[in-house]
Amino acid sequence: MAGGKIRKEKPKAPSNHYQGGISFHKSKGQHILKNPLLVDSIVQKAGIKSTDVILEIGPGTGNLTKKLLEAGKEVIAVELDSRMVLELQRRFQGTPYSNRLKVIQGDVLKTELPRFDICVANIPYQISSPLTFKLLFHPTSFRCAVIMYQREFAMRHVAQPGDNLYCRLSVNTQLYARVSHLLKVGKNNFRPPPKVDSSVVRIEPRKPQPQVNKKEWDGFLRVCFIRKNKTLGSIFRQKSVLLMLEKNFKTLQAVRASLNGSTGEAAGMDLDDQSMGMEDDDNEMDDDDDVEMDEGQGEEFKEKVMNVLKEGGFEEKRSSKLSQQEFLYLLSLFNKSGIHFS
């Protein structure tokens, strides 16, 4: 423009790229570890043996993969992004590690996982909960999993009764595994940096696994944590909860009658497939979910439920303060009275 100053535009800084030219997508949870000291620390804390087969989930461009190959016998890497798969193959092609690295391209939640000794994962945070329980219920035993989580999610794993973050996830995970917090990881250790800090958690499956019905236990905890700071008496008086439990109770009675003398255990096994059908999350349910319930039989069943809570001294207790053993005891009281959650 005449008489005006020409404003020079600053060249735009390149978006977050790996030196090989691969761009990372935050929307897909791609945050690559760039701090070599942190990578070394994770490998050290994993306690890898030279004979270990290591499952790595989300290897990205292979910064952690290389250290895992140096420490263990074999690495099986599961990666969804085809660009990352090609980068991994390119990076290790022609090296002594190439015949000890197996790359599986696919969604880890839909992939049948092979046998492994240790899992090490820097995962997209949006799959944290389903992946955790996929590993815990893996058909073949493994020694431990060392996983990078969003910090708040990680601290839920290790939270104890009375902690602000204590929730259904805390109780569930700690029933099936010993969980410990290893280290906090600042967001600037990643490329591109996420919005929040992370933490590395070690999960060791309990051996033997607890003898509980998984669907029954999960259904029970979902009810208890509808409002974790409300009394259990208040929660179990909600119409939606009573309707669900009464429906299960009547279904069980009908199944037992149809079996003509079969054991209650067999009837319970038939009912296992009738789960509550909710996803694994820690969202509390709204009180608006309540619906009207008829009088008569409904009131009689409500009294049955309240009697269970009173028998165990749980009516005035809150889920946020209950220990794992207390939850197991309360569930046993409900089941003893013929009340089931799945």
Beta bridge partners of 177: 205
Residue 338 labeled ligand binder: no
Residue 219 labeled ligand binder: no
Q: β-strands 118-122, 144-150: how paired?
A: parallel
Residue 157 labeled ligand binder: no
As a whole number of angstroms, the distance between CA 234 and CA 29 comes to 39
Element (H, E) at 107: none
As a whole number of angstroms, the distance between CA 169 and CA 171 comes to 6
Residue 122 labeled ligand binder: yes
- The alpha carbon dihedral of 122, 124, 125, 127 has a sign of negative
Q: β-strands 144-150, 190-191: how paired?
A: unpaired
Residue 58 labeled ligand binder: yes
Largest CA distance in the chain: 100
Residue among 42, 46, 123, 119 nearest 79 (CA): 123
Residue 31 labeled ligand binder: yes
Residue showing tokens 């009697």: 307
The H-assigned helical ranges of 104-238 are: 128-136, 151-158, 168-176, 214-224, 232-235
- Within 10 angstroms of residue 225's Cβ, the number of other Cβ atoms is 24
Distance of CA 178 to the CA centre of its chain: 14
Tokens matching residue 234: 């208040």
Intra-chain end-to-end CA distance of the chain, in Å: 74
As a whole number of angstroms, the distance between CA 230 and CA 234 comes to 7
CA dist list (Å): 207 to 136, 177, 263, 323: 11, 9, 29, 20
Binding site for S-adenosyl-L-methionine, by residue number, is: 31, 33, 58, 79, 107, 122
Annotated binding-site residues read 31, 33, 58, 79, 107, 122
